[in-house]
A and B are shown apart, each in its own frame.
Chain A
Amino acid sequence: MKKINIIFIIYYFVFLPKAFAETNYAFPWPGILPDNKIYKLKVLRNKIVEKIIVGPAKKVEFDLLMADKTIYASKLLMEKGKVDLSKETVLKGENYYSMLVQDYNMALLSHEQIPSWLDQKITLAAIKHQEVFKQLEDKVTGENKKTFQIVSKFSKINYDFIVGLRNPKK
């Protein structure tokens, strides 16, 4: 477990700034985008699902899924030319990753074992999100870049927090 984390951390700090090839991580299809009229129903559905999930590890999985879908939706909105909505969506996506960190902490406190595949996925997702934020930042100009820079910072903070949770200092 620790070896895998070290490898990923090295990849994150050494290779990522110079990365030209994209991370091999597939985003799930987001479905209805935020510019749709019935998007609010989908949000309501997701909130209900969030409340009624039982297992702590499954909550983490759900938060990751929602973060991936929302960030990918933000990318699709940018491709459609809806910059403001894309900024709003990317913030919500990163908020899901923040919730993931909280639920990860709760899972560890309740002595729930997080599966290794989920841990790897969380790490890969963080890297992929960073790539997407960078791409979106490059596509916009002026003050619009600030949002994606803030989100990128938050993403790094969240990932550091998760690494800290995995390897607590004794």
Chain B
Amino acid sequence: MKELISLYDNVLIYYPNVFFPVLFFLGIILIIFVIKGIVFLSKGTVLVIREIKRELKNRVKQRKKQVKIKQKERISFIQVIEDIFKKNKAPFLRNAKITFFRICTTSIFITSKIEKIIKKIKKEILIEK
């Protein structure tokens, strides 16, 4: 390191007319490289940003599709239930009517039977008296 510094100082002191032009050209080369690097990076970043935007759009589309599918599924499920209900509504009501009538008739039959039994018992009690 010391030797490098010594060399640098010697060139600077004894050959300044060589040092400065070399430094100038190196500076120009460095500036050219920096500009090229900036241009390259800017192009790269533009491409990356485009890709990111495209991917985001695709994901949003896919998400929307999924949401629609789910909505359709929900709708179809509700429709299925409604269909089932419609289909089974009439037989269900019919069966309910039939069971109701049967309950009524059995209760009437039972009450009539009970009344007959009570009449019989009353008659037997009167006869004993």
Contacts and interface: CB of A to CB of B under 8 A. Distances in A.
Interface string A37-74: 00000000110110011110010011001000000000
A54 B12 CA distance: 10
Majority secondary structure, A binding face: helix
Majority secondary structure, B binding face: helix
Size range of the chain B interface in the assembly: under 10
Nearest to A54: B5
Interface residues of A, number: 12
B13 A62 contact: yes
B27 to A, nearest CB: 14
Interface of A: 45-46, 48-49, 52-55, 58, 61-62, 65
Given A49-B13, A53-B9, A55-B9, 17 more contacts: A45-B16, A45-B20, A46-B16, A48-B20, A49-B12, A49-B16, A52-B12, A53-B12, A53-B13, A54-B8, A55-B6, A58-B9, A58-B10, A58-B13, A61-B13, A62-B13, A65-B13
11 contacts: A48-B20, A49-B12, A49-B16, A53-B12, A54-B5, A54-B8, A58-B9, A58-B10, A58-B13, A61-B13, A62-B13
